[in-house]
Amino acid sequence: MKVLIQKVSQASVTVEQQCVAQINEGLLLLVGIGHEDTQEDIDYLVRKISQMRIFEDEQGVMNLSVLDKKADILCVSQFTLMASTKKGNRPSYSQAARPEIALPLFDTFVDQMARTIGKPVPKGVFGAFMEVALTNSGPVTIWVDSKQLV
């Protein structure tokens, strides 16, 4: 499972010209799910992301987590994070989980994150063409891959 974390001052998801999800200060999580991902990957990523200290404290040092800040999280499923670009010019998505596998794992990830941070976690529409708008704060953008536990 791969997650691209963006610290934002605001973010929203629009589908067919309708805003379906939005947050103010917090984290936009773009979530890629592979066909080998399991509950273990979800557990690791929820723990890692919720405790990651990337928000500034009173001294301006990135020392606070999303839990400390009581900030929001917005999740968007994005199979293209699983792209392999090693060969040719067209990315291969063979490592991305099929929708019947990915959707339950994505929903579990979102539900577990909501329980962990103690508030609802809005999300994009799985499988839809989405327009994601955000204002990256910092900018802070961090890549986390549950399969590269180093």
Residue 85: φ, ψ to 5°: -115, 15
C-alpha distance from residue 88 to each of 43, 51, 85, 91 (Å): 35, 38, 7, 8
Beta pairing, strands 2-15 & 26-32: antiparallel
Active site residues: 78-80
Chain centroid, CA 119 distance in Å: 16
3-class DSSP assignment, residue 66: helix
Choose among 69, 39, 44, 34: nearest CA to 54: 69
